Chain A
């Protein structure tokens, strides 16, 4: 291989990578740096940012403990609830469903995505609101049931909105699972339940981990569902950030919260990945 072809190859690689790299640079890296700088500054008297170097914003974090708590509890719990519902669905679609109808069934999972999540969440607002299910319950004598603006309502909205995102990666990992491995397991005397826990589940773990990571990360930034179904009582960090940036125009404090969230998420993910790999008994090599 000559130096010329090497150079040419590098140029091609650079050309292919450049758009994505530029995009990430402008819309991810630079804003993140700006946010880091803001987090150590202070609020200008008229709102916004004023240059300074202070840890005051971070010292102020406990005032938003509820938002952190809601986010860091409801996001993983929501992802877990999604997982528990999504796995059987994905299993049915990939393994049990008649291949002739499989495409139709899979699209049924995806079709709700074609309508705006806002509209669908509004529908839930009505269903859970005083003229919805509580109204029906009062007809049979069960009075004063409050559903809307509870953690349960937020959790329900989360599961409803994010279920397809959990089903798809699990479906894909189960769908490409080699059926002969299941036969081999049965051949070696494993009952169906043992085959599931000994072969199917471990081999679908990459899909499970992808789904859990995807849903959890998206949920950490969730704003819409707690806003509509939590009604200011159950709010996420996303809601706190909107308040800080748009209402009280306290950019440095908002930045400090956002930076802290990113740091917490990175730490949690690293620990979770390590545990997951250990449990699966697999090394990263196998998952690529």
Chain B
């Protein structure tokens, strides 16, 4: 952390101190609080320069993992590595990582510039005052807050405080930037703008980002890799498309995106009988035998007007229509299977083809879109 160069310098490829290509690595990590196990059996690798999202419902252990990287919690078992270095027992202030805290944790008694330069003033050997303020200004300009340096924290809006927290965290040029639900407190429009801004910033800085979020849309849209967690364990790690298209479990299918769940039985090697007796050839049965639950994405279903059940279609009646602007969601009651959610893109449907509630429709889909899991 001793170099005083441009903050935008790309650390990739220039770092020869470590043979590891992973900036973060968890090896068999477990964390318990008394009798309560927060996380266990965590094995995770975050490649250098990657944008990794830890995704899961509240209480799944994602924040505990992030805090173990930051040094605010120590694992009870296993080891966390940063750039190949084991971090057991290393205090937070000695780690080459910085964090954007949930609710920002900005220092209320300091102005914006003093907040941003706080980390620079901790560096030893000391950095000259002029250099500190130059680098603080640079960081503020990166988050488009140039000229706000003398403002007080409580004079800044939520979105601006968010960007002050970002500037404060990147000014020390960490190897890894940790983000704990950074966008949770922002309204939807601002959140979308910040998602793009964060992605841009990550590419410019070229450093590894680890983001904790419970918002699956945020995880999918920003990151290179998503690590889905549930009940203290990692359930699936992969690129967003893989997580969405090939969920490893019913939990992932349910938690990431919207899903229709269908009760079914696996009959033989690749034959699937739905609860209403309809029979499909199912290629991906994930080792399920006997009773199974089938997940089907709402956008994988096409509505047809003739409304007859066939070899690759179910029949039902539209009960509700939710107009979303760019798309339309239908709730369809299918005989013997309950309500299905169907998302139709408006363009492909055509303006005049909105289906009215009460209409009989057919639900057609590619059997490959059926994800079968043991019940």
Contact = CB atoms under 8 A, between A and B. Distances in A.
A184 B99 contact: yes
A144 interface: no
A187 B110 CA distance: 17
Contacts of A281: 109-110
B105 interface: yes
Interface in A182-215: 183-192, 194, 198-199, 202-203
B247 interface: no
A184 B169 CA distance: 9
Interface in B167-226: 168-169, 172
Contacts of A280: 109
Interface stretch (B30-38, B118-126, B235-243, B322-330): B118-126
A15 B259 CA distance: 62
Nearest to B103: A180
A46 interface: no
A183 B91 CA distance: 11
Contacts of B93: 186-192
Given A184-B105, A188-B98, A198 B118 contact: yes
Contact of A188 (B72, B118, B154): B118
B123 A187 contact: no
Given A183-B70, A187-B97, A187-B99, 7 more contacts: A181-B105, A186-B93, A189-B93, A190-B93, A192-B93, A202-B109, A286-B154
Interface centre among A178, A188, A198 (most CB of B within 10 A): A188
B109 A184 contact: no
Given A186-B93, A188-B168, A286 B118 contact: no
A189 B154 CA distance: 24
Interface of A: 178, 180-181, 183-192, 194, 198-199, 202-203, 280-282, 286
A189 to B, nearest CB: 4
A180 B118 CA distance: 15
B16 to A, nearest CB: 24
17 contacts: A178-B105, A180-B101, A180-B103, A181-B107, A183-B105, A184-B105, A184-B107, A187-B70, A187-B72, A188-B118, A188-B172, A189-B93, A189-B123, A189-B172, A192-B93, A203-B109, A280-B109
Contacts of B169: 187
B108 interface: yes
B331 to A, nearest CB: 43
- Of the listed residues A189, A194, A203, A282, the one surrounded by the most CB atoms of chain B closer than 10 A to its CB is A189
The 3 tightest CB contacts between A and B, nearest first, are A188-B119, A189-B122, A180-B105
| Residue in A181, A185, A186 whose Cβ sees the most chain B Cβ within 10 Å | A186
A190 B107 contact: no
Given A280-B109, A282-B109, A190 B122 contact: yes
A187 B92 contact: yes
A190 B105 CA distance: 15
Contacts of B103: 180
Contacts of A184: 99, 101, 105-107
Contacts of B99: 183-184, 187
Interface residues of chain A: helix, strand, loop or mixed (majority): helix
Contacts of B70: 183, 187
Contacts of A185: 107, 118
B98 A194 contact: no
The listed residue with most A CB atoms (<10 A of its CB), out of B93, B98, B103, B110, is B93
Nearest to B178: A187
A191 B169 CA distance: 17
Nearest to A283: B152
A181 B106 CA distance: 7
Contacts of B168: 188
B307 to A, nearest CB: 57
Given A184-B99, A189-B93, A286 B122 contact: no
Contacts of A192: 93
A280 B107 CA distance: 13
A185 to B, nearest CB: 7
A180 B70 CA distance: 12
B109 A183 contact: no
Contact of A183 (B72, B108, B119, B123): B72
Contacts of B108: 203, 286
A185 B168 CA distance: 11
Contacts of A181: 105, 107
Contact of A186 (B92, B107, B110, B172): B92
Contact of A199 (B72, B91, B94, B107): B107
B337 to A, nearest CB: 48
Contacts of A178: 105
Contacts of A180: 101, 103, 105
Nearest to B111: A281
Contacts of A286: 108-109, 154
Nearest to A189: B122
A178 B153 CA distance: 15
Nearest to B98: A187
Nearest to A178: B105
A127 to B, nearest CB: 43
A191 B121 CA distance: 12
A30 to B, nearest CB: 42
B173 to A, nearest CB: 11
Interface in B72-88: 72
B89 to A, nearest CB: 15
Given A183-B72, A183-B92, A188 B122 contact: yes
Contacts of A282: 109
B37 to A, nearest CB: 22
Contacts of B72: 183, 186-187
Q: Which of B98, B99, B122, B123 lies at the interface centre, i.e. has the most chain A CB atoms within 10 A of its CB?
A: B122
